[in-house]
Amino acid sequence: MTGRLRVTGRHAAVILLLIPLLYPIAWLFLASFKSGSEIVQSLALLPREYILDNYLALGDDLAGVPAWTFFVNSTIVAGACALANVASCSLAAYAFARLRFRMRGVLFAFTLATIMLPVHIITIPQYSLFQKLGMVDTFWPLILPKLLATDAFFIFLMVQFMRTIPRELDEAARLDGCGSIRIFGTIMLPLVRPALVTTAIFTFIWTWNDFFTQLIYLSSPERLTLPLALRLFIDTTDYNAFGPMLALSALAIVPILLFFAAFQRLLVEGFATSGLKG
């Protein structure tokens, strides 16, 4: 009985801690059913009257572009970045964790040191490079860096995961005539699936919510992503713009929640089994 009360108390404490964290999200969803004037004048959680006008307004063109275009653009960019990051970081991690080559430790340390490098330092040189290549106002400046294994955190995550896998598997595969590429594809990738899913989820979410990088490279209305599209609603002289803006914000959260819920088990498993081993 005492143990059951202790567990119940812990659950109650967790719920109390979650309330201030979940309140802004709940307010966002409920405020999307309010009128523009009520959003500005009232901070109440529940609307006085539920209306669907804010969602229906999204059917109209925004800056001459349908709202669904912004969802498609965000999906293309976030999905491509997730796939590219998984592919490049897994290859780099395999090299650091399994292959033997000169200066491996120095290069791995240098890679980890880039975690402390602010992204703003490389923004101007990177922009100049893509401008000379004629890639500004396209999705390529957002996707191409992910193909170069630039996220040291995910490389470290996968290296730690791969170090927990017995080397006897590699040796047995080499006796059967497998090379490094085949060992990577047939042995390593299936065993490090939780780490791959973790990388994909966080890359997708961070890219989906990214505003700074996309603001620098994208300017044409038909190429804007959701974070940039929300900026088009900002008009201090028109309260009616707040309703559709909150409605689009609420819809923008849904794919992230579904993506996280679908892979939650593998995400937890990836962190639980890769962190401090090796």
For the segment 217-249, what is each residue's pLDDT rounded down to a tens digit?
999 989 999 999 888 877 545 556 788 888 989
Alpha helices by DSSP H, listed for the chain, are: 2-31, 36-41, 53-57, 67-98, 104-113, 123-132, 140-143, 152-162, 167-175, 180-183, 189-191, 193-209, 212-217, 226-231, 242-262, 264-274
Residue 172 has pLDDT above 60, yes or no: yes
Neighbours of 72 (CB within 10 A): 11
pLDDT of res. 87: 95
pLDDT bucket at 117, cuts 50 / 70 / 90: confident
Angle at 13 between CA 9 and CA 19, to 5 degrees: 145
Residue 122 has pLDDT above 80, yes or no: yes
pLDDT of res. 225: 94
Q: Give the rounded percent of residues in the chain with a pLDDT score beyond 90.
A: 37
Residue 126 has pLDDT above 90, yes or no: yes
Contact, 124 vs 58, CB < 8 A? Answer: no
Average pLDDT over residues 111-129: 89
Neighbours of 246 (CB within 10 A): 23
* Dihedral (CA of 30, 32, 37, 39) sign: positive
Average predicted confidence (pLDDT) for the chain: 86
pLDDT of res. 237: 53
Residue 55 has pLDDT above 90, yes or no: no
Token digits for 3? 């143990």
pLDDT of res. 74: 95
pLDDT of res. 141: 95
Average pLDDT over residues 169-191: 88
